[in-house]
Amino acid sequence: MSPHPAPLFAASQVACSFARLPAAFYAALPPRPLDQPRLLHANPQAAALLGLSAADLDSADFLELCAGHARLPGVTPLATVYSGHQFGVWAGQLGDGRAHLLGDVRGPGGTFEIQLKGSGRTPYSRMGDGWAVLRSSVREYLASQAMAGLGIPTTQAMALVGSQDPVMRETLETAAVVTRLAPSFVRFGHFQHWARSPDMQAILLDYVVAHWFPDCFQGTAAQPDRPATACRLLAEVCRRTARLMAQWQLAGFCHGVMNTDNMSILGLTLDYGPYGFMDAFQANHVCNHTDTLGRYAWNAQPAVAQWNLTRLAESLLCLGCAPADLEAALAGFESEFLRAYHQGLAHKFGFTDWRPEDAALGDDWWALLHAQRADFTLAFRYLSQADRDPARWLGLFADPAAARAWLTRYQARLAQAARPAPQRRAAMDRVNPLYVLRNHLAQRAIQAAQQGDATEIARLMALLQDPCTPQPGGDPYAQPPAADAAAVVVSCSS
């Protein structure tokens, strides 16, 4: 079946700004459609950004677009090329090996690129088949909603489409496609790809700055100052990335594969593979079974982000940027990370402000959780009520005496602020989630979806949209896995 336009959007809403770049930036080609696709779930919140209604999501046109059978009017889908470091090693040319950019759509929420992930081979697939399996697609679909619900910048998933197309991974599985949205999918790796091509790097810089960072532009239209513009862009990307890292740390989120090609130039969480929200806290927790050296452990994530930003800075040298100016732009990462981290931790602790002396209390908090292997999410959540129900919070710790000693210090700090307890409890419960996407919950949804049942996906999506508010029937979803439950192992194939 040849692709045809899907009449979901007016032609005036649709474009593809990336396609206006020189042809070396991408390969124009259609997705490989899924055979007998089935819409497993659609995300009304994401779809509303594009102005789509509930009726649109139920239409055959929507399914055909998200399954790769249709295209946006007047736009040829494409896959973009980029390069990058993977696990700290230069991997050379990479690119969208299993993703197709359908184009840009302007809607009530702004302009978003629509991308299909798992939509077939491209010239950048290397040895891959271009498919995504249902297992990994369910994980990405749910994770993007989990992060959005927590207020953490992320790409958003609009639809999950399954099929009976066979795909071989460790075992025989079935293919699926996630339709995801972002203002841009440009990565650090796009800039790395042109690190030795000043003219092409300048084109990419101009494109990114004009569309998403106009305040970074320096010079005049007739005589742009690209070195100064690049340094300002780098400084802003550093700030956004630093804030993102603070949010990841405070949510107990581990990305699992923080390669430079998985880092968004907009500061979004990008590419959900072997991620995990921690259950029992371990500061050096590694969620990716493939990461045998622990490069992407939870406590390493901010430093890895800083390393990745340095690789981005190196790619800008070809524009004539002075090394000292790039170093100055990079220097803002640590202060911005600490500012966002301290502010976020103060909110989670119920403090009205962060004081320098709070650092010791915060450090001892992580040491306590690590030594006791306490549940990350519930340790924060139950803390809001620890003054009137200490037993519930203390019950999370193997050694209640050590926890009680920390709690005494914490309560003394609360007393200094003289904040009314009901106000503090409410404020803490607004920022400390009850529901996160624990691996065992995602696995349960995957297993049901593999049997054709999307009920668990729908239930989790509803809970994760409002993760801080208790919901009827939600108690089982707020608990860690049973002590005797088999661990869910995720790897780069996830």
The tens digit of pLDDT for each residue in 141-163 reads 999 999 999 999 999 999 999 99
Percent of the chain with pLDDT over 70: 99
**Terminal alpha carbon distance of the chain:** 30
Residue range 373-385, pLDDT digits in tens: 999 999 999 999 9
Q: What is the arithmetic mean of pLDDT over 6-31?
A: 95
The pairing of strands 253-254 and 78-80 is unpaired
Residue 174, pLDDT score: 96
As beta bridge partners, residue 14 has 105
| DSSP designation for 33 | P
How many Cβ atoms from other residues are within 10 Å of residue 356's Cβ? Answer: 7
**pLDDT above 70 (res 493):** no
Residue 1, pLDDT score: 44
Give yes or no for a contact between 156 and 49, defined as CB atoms under 8 angstroms apart: yes
- Give the start-end residues of each E strand in 122-195: 132-133, 156-168, 172-182
Residue 6, pLDDT score: 73
Residue 2, pLDDT score: 54
H/E run at residue 381: helix 376-383
Residue 494, pLDDT score: 57
**Cα separations (Å) of 44 from 51, 120, 145?**
10, 26, 11
User: In the structure, what pLDDT confidence band is assigned to residue 94 with cuts at 50, 70 and 90?
Assistant: very high
Residue range 172-222, pLDDT digits in tens: 999 999 999 999 999 999 999 999 999 999 999 999 999 999 999 999 999
Rounded to whole angstroms, the Cα distance separating 187 from 192 reads 9
| DSSP designation for 34 | P
Residue range 241-294, pLDDT digits in tens: 999 999 999 999 999 999 999 999 999 999 999 999 999 999 999 999 999 999
Residue range 24-62, pLDDT digits in tens: 999 999 999 999 999 999 999 999 999 999 999 999 999
**Cα separations (Å) of 446 from 24, 162, 290, 488?**
38, 12, 21, 12
**pLDDT above 70 (res 410):** yes
Residue 485, pLDDT score: 82
Active-site annotation, residues = 261
> What does the mean pLDDT of the chain come to?
96
In the chain, where the domains are located: 4-188, 351-418
**pLDDT above 80 (res 486):** no
Give yes or no for a contact between 406 and 371, defined as CB atoms under 8 angstroms apart: no
Q: What is the arithmetic mean of pLDDT over 447-472?
A: 97
